[in-house]
């Protein structure tokens, strides 16, 4: 592992080696799309039959099926298999998203819960640089519970994961 400079201006932003999620519509798929866009390994656990609210999780996502079609076991396994969990949501945590945070606490894993409407992508960037998870679990609400969350989460993640050191000044 390379030693990081103590001068923040000299540091390269940290990128996880792998991003995982459960593959559900919404934030889960935004996390997988982020990984694909940045050529970061991706994966995670999904329910048996690649079950999701829109049918079967597309095969473009490199997920492993659990032995059960239930959602909580895959949620917990993704927390266990990650070094940290990033939860993106709007308004309030509830349902499976809240369960994800509870699993992170149970397994004593770093977890950042981000209300996207009040948190800047820069705060996520700072957290990633501090925690440096090799495998990052990205979770949040499904599309049917918060319409449009997938698109908004992907835009938020793309901004948080931008490598400003490669940008060209105009």
Task: Show the domains of the chain with their CATH numbers.
Answer: 18-161 (3.40.50.450)
State how far the Cα of 35 lies from the Cα of 96, in Å rounded to an integer: 22
pLDDT band at 64 (very low <50, low <70, confident <90, very high): very high
Q: What are phi and psi of 166, to 5 degrees?
A: -100, -5
pLDDT exceeds cutoff 60 at 7: no
State how far the Cα of 122 lies from the Cα of 48, in Å rounded to an integer: 36
pLDDT band at 167 (very low <50, low <70, confident <90, very high): very low
Can you tell me which residue has the tokens 């982020």? 34
pTM assigned to the model: 0.90
Residue 165 DSSP symbol: G
* Average pLDDT of the residues in 99-127: 97
Spatial contact of 112 and 87, defined as CB atoms under 8 Å apart: yes
Q: Which residues touch 60 (CB under 8 Å, ≥6 apart)?
A: 36
* Average pLDDT of the residues in 54-64: 97
Please report the sign of the dihedral spanned by the C-alpha atoms of residue 56, residue 103, residue 132, residue 152: positive
pLDDT exceeds cutoff 60 at 59: yes
How many other CB atoms sit within 10 Å of the CB of residue 159?
A: 13
């Amino acid at each position: 592992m390379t030693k990081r400079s103590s001068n923040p201006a000299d540091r390269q932003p940290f990128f996880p080696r792998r991003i995982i999620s459960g593959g559900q519509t919404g934030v889960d798929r935004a996390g997988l799309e982020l990984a694909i866009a940045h050529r970061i390994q991706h994966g995670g656990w999904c329910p048996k039959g690649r079950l999701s609210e829109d049918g079967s999780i597309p095969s473009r996502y490199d997920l492993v099926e659990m032995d059960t079609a239930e959602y909580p076991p895959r949620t917990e396994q993704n927390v266990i298999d990650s070094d940290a969990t990033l939860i993106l949501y709007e308004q309030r945590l509830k349902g499976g998203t809240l369960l994800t945070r509870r699993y992170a606490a149970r397994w004593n894993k770093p977890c950042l819960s981000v209300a996207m409407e009040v948190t800047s992508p820069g705060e996520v960037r700072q957290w990633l640089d501090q925690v440096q998870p090799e495998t990052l679990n990205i979770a949040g609400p499904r599309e049917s519970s918060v319409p449009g969350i997938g698109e908004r989460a992907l835009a938020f993640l793309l901004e948080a994961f931008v490598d400003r050191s490669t940008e060209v000044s105009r």
